[in-house]
Amino acid sequence: MEQEQQCLNTDHDEVGQQGPRALLAGVATVPGDIPDTEAGVIGQTQWQEIRQAKAAGMSISAIAREMGLDRKTVRTALGSEHWRPYSRPNRSSMLDEHMDWLRQRAPEVNFSARILHQELRLQRGFVGCYEVVKVAVRPLRAQAVSAALTQCRFETEPGEQAQVDWGQIKVRFGEQPVRVHVFVMTLGYSRRGFAEGFLNERLGNVLAAHEHAFAHFGGRCETLLYDRMRTVVHHERDRSRLNTTFEAFAQHWGFRIRLCQPYRAKTKGKVESGVKYVKRNFVPGRTFRNLEDFNAQLLEWLTQVSDVRIHGTTHQRPIERFQLEAAHLTATTSQPSFLQAMVRERVVAEDWLVCIDGNRYSVPFGLIGKTVQVVREGAYWVIRHAGQEVARHELLAGKAQLSVQHAHGPRAARASQAAAVPLPTPVHDGPARTSMAHDVEVRDLSVYEQLAAALEAA
């Protein structure tokens, strides 16, 4: 830097005395090796022209002047028997071990290098600077833009595939603002859709929504397509695996699970369009009392509006195309519900309650700390212990509800234990005395002592 400044401050008279060649020589003496990166940059046509010029008798210097190249570039071209395109050497980066995660996460945050850098530092121990992440994200963003411009529509045969997704909608139940999570399933061929609102996207709601969709359509498709939602796929540091309960659910109903590739969510564009349609056409201008009212209005809208509209892609009504697709669906009406067949194990808490799908139900007080099995039978939860039914509760609507049967409580347990204590035969010192009004039984005081002890032990 100091030498460069000296060159810039050189007096014009000194330049005149030394001449331009001397000044250039001074600049050329800046220490440090400058690698020659020009040698491998020429194209195949130029490489052939260099060799033809040399064959015609031109010198290396003449060829360099004629083509505006460095003499070392000409020598390199003449010394190689075959043209080789320029390739940038692979360099290791601090992001190498995080690239798989980066490719998957980048589309989810709209390719924001700032967000990705923050998450890398907080969650994955990355110590590099923001600029490194920004440079790495740039080609991923360009690739996504290119894919969006060049993607082609993928059509499926009747009954071949349905697509599944969630959408979130802010509405009001009366005066209370609520965020409703809307499950949407769209049949790939007919574009007929099913939608249902929930207060969350937990696994129980995912499974129930699928069964409601199958009942709505009267069957299911051969394959169901998902993005990498947490209720379907467990994301681990090095790999992803299917949720075991959801995999069992798919085996129960007989459909294949297909997942979108990471950072390629557009693969399920049919259902994404369905989610947007619900948000833009169903919600505006409507009021709702509660979730049940929301779903009742949504079901009416599906049958009276969504099914009978002219679809923008197929140019047909979904309900009309569904007449052809319905014959290719696998019937599900005769198959029992997975939710009802699934046995769930719960450990009884100290308040003699078990939690099922966000609600709490009582069991006998004596089972605290024990493991019980829960099965759904119609509109009831049946709770068993050691093969014996110990409680039966009607399903509660909503969440954070409580169903308690007083016969399960500690007072009832004490009373039943006290009733089981045998009373000793009273002892009489002499012949029984009679009275004109009533016979009076005389008991030993030890009877009451035994009863008190039984109640106290309970």
Cα-based angle 139, 145, 151 (whole degrees, multiple of 5): 125
Q: What whole-number percentage of the chain has pLDDT above 90?
A: 39
pLDDT at 166: 93
pLDDT > 90? residue 439: no
Pick from 6-20, 365-379, 444-458: least confident: 6-20
d(CA 195, CA 275): 9
pLDDT at 206: 94
Mean pLDDT throughout 114-128? 89
Each residue of 312-330: pLDDT tens digit?
888 999 999 999 999 999 9
Mean pLDDT throughout 424-441? 46
Residue scoring higher pLDDT (101 or 13): 101
Q: Does domain 161-331 have CATH number 1.10.3720.10?
A: no
Residue scoring higher pLDDT (100 or 145): 100
pLDDT at 417: 60
pLDDT at 5: 41
Confidence band of 26 (pLDDT split at 50, 70, 90): very low
pLDDT > 70? residue 96: yes
Query: For residue 183, which amino acid is it?
Result: F
Three-state SS across the chain?
Answer: CHHHHHHHCCCHHHHHHHCHHHHHHHHHCCCCCCCCCCCCCCCHHHHHHHHHHHHCCCCHHHHHHHHCCCHHHHHHHHHCCCCCCCCCCCCCCCCHHHHHHHHHHHHHHCCCHHHHHHHHHHHHCCCCCHHHHHHHHHHHHHHHHHHHHHCCCCCCCCCCEEEEEEEEEEEEECCEEEEEEEEEEEECCCCCEEEEEECCCCHHHHHHHHHHHHHHHCEECCEEEECCCCCCEEECCCCEEECHHHHHHHHHHCCEEEECCCCCHHHHHHHHHHHHHHHHHHCCCCCECCHHHHHHHHHHHHHHHHCCCCCCCCCCCHHHHHHHHHHHCEECCCCCCHHHHCCEEEECCCCCEEEECCEEEECCHHHCCCEEEEEEECCEEEEEECCEEEEEEECCCCCCCEECCHHHCHHHHHHHHHHCCCCCCCCCCCCCCCCCCCCCCCCCCHHHHHHHHHHHHC
Q: Which token pair is 409?
A: 């409580």
Contact 319, 192 (CB under 8 A): yes
Mean pLDDT throughout 414-427? 57
Residue scoring higher pLDDT (154 or 173): 173
- Which residues neighbour 249 within 8 Å (Cβ) at sequence distance 6 or greater? 207, 210, 338
Each residue of 238-272: pLDDT tens digit?
677 898 889 999 999 999 999 886 655 556 678 88
pLDDT at 378: 76
Nearest in space to 260 (alpha carbons), one of 377, 130, 107, 95: 107
Map tokens 């491998």 to a residue: 40
pLDDT at 266: 56
pLDDT at 423: 52
Fold of 33-87: Arc Repressor Mutant, subunit A (1.10.10)
d(CA 216, CA 257): 20
Mean pLDDT throughout 39-66? 83
Pick from 50-54, 142-146, 288-292, 356-360: least confident: 142-146
Regarding pTM above 0.85, the answer is no
Residue scoring higher pLDDT (318 or 40): 318
Nearest in space to 208 (alpha carbons), one of 192, 193, 197: 197
Contact 398, 295 (CB under 8 A): no
pLDDT at 185: 96
Contact 42, 72 (CB under 8 A): no
